[in-house]
Chains A and B, each alone.
Chain A
Amino acid sequence: PPRPPPKPGPGEHPLQYNYGFWYSRKSQGNKSASYDANLKLIGTFASVEQFWRHYCHIARPSDLNGHTDYHLFKEGIRPMWEDSANKNGGKWIIRLKKGLASRCWENLIMAMLGEQFMVGEEICGAVISIRYAEDILSLWNRTANDGVTTARIRDTLKRVLNLPPNTVMEYKTHVDSIKDNSSF
């Protein structure tokens, strides 16, 4: 049965949206069936304080190993290309040298939870993907063909992440990800 939506507790600071925290780890074996099956919801939250209670109990991204992702998405949106909120959307992709993942992930989710992107309902969620040689940060939005919105998201990302000037940022539509089935 669906769990009841979280509510801010007494004295807590509400967020604009409720969110869900997800975890996934690539399994050996059946590649096509595994993505959805490997997604695990860690928990949902509605306030700043509830967010920190989850965050403080999970490993920092840089301490994870193997092929592991954290996903932080608005409640009701599954972190999948095919979800109705994502199917016309896309994502900004930022490839990080090893060692930067924890700091950049934290900066990204602070900006998302604090509504710093100023693009209305467009933000769907954020992902940090831990890989062998590099880590990958991505921010998903609803409407891939809205150039004004995607440019505004890019500019805010640059500001809040405080990345080296030569960092490459790439935008990819989920339609293209579905076509080539090899996002990273």
Chain B
Amino acid sequence: GSRIFYERNFLMQCRNSPLAK
């Protein structure tokens, strides 16, 4: 299957998501 890649900037944005609180 395909691997799941994330760029640093995207991961940092997720930090501010309500789901991450």
Chain A: residues with CB nearer than 8 A to chain B? 9, 11-16, 48-49, 52-53, 56, 107, 110-111, 113-116, 160
A sample of 9 more A-B contacts (CB under 8 A), given A12-B19, A16-B3, A48-B14, is: A11-B19, A14-B4, A48-B11, A48-B20, A49-B19, A110-B11, A114-B5, A114-B6, A115-B3
Residue of B nearest to A16 (CB): B4
Does A115 lie within 8 Å of B11, measured CB to CB? no
In the bound assembly, the distance between CA atoms of A115 and B2 in angstroms comes to: 12
Listed A/B pairs (7) with beta-carbon separation below 8 Å? A16-B5, A52-B17, A52-B20, A110-B8, A111-B8, A114-B7, A115-B5
Residues of A within 8 A of B3 (CB): 16, 115
Q: Is the interface of A mostly helix, strand, loop or mixed?
A: mixed
Does A115 lie within 8 Å of B4, measured CB to CB? yes
Total residues of chain B contacting the partner, CB 8 A:
15
Most buried by B among A11, A48, A113, A115: A48
In the bound assembly, the distance between CA atoms of A72 and B9 in angstroms comes to: 20
The one of B6, B17, B19 in contact with A113, judged by C-beta atoms closer than 8 angstroms, is B6
Contact A53:B4 (CB < 8 A) given known A13-B14, A113-B11: no
Residue of B nearest to A50 (CB): B20
Residues of B within 8 A of A53 (CB): 20-21
Least CB distance from A126 to B in Å reads 14
Least CB distance from B6 to A in Å reads 4
Most buried by B among A52, A53, A107, A160: A52
Residues of B within 8 A of A12 (CB): 19
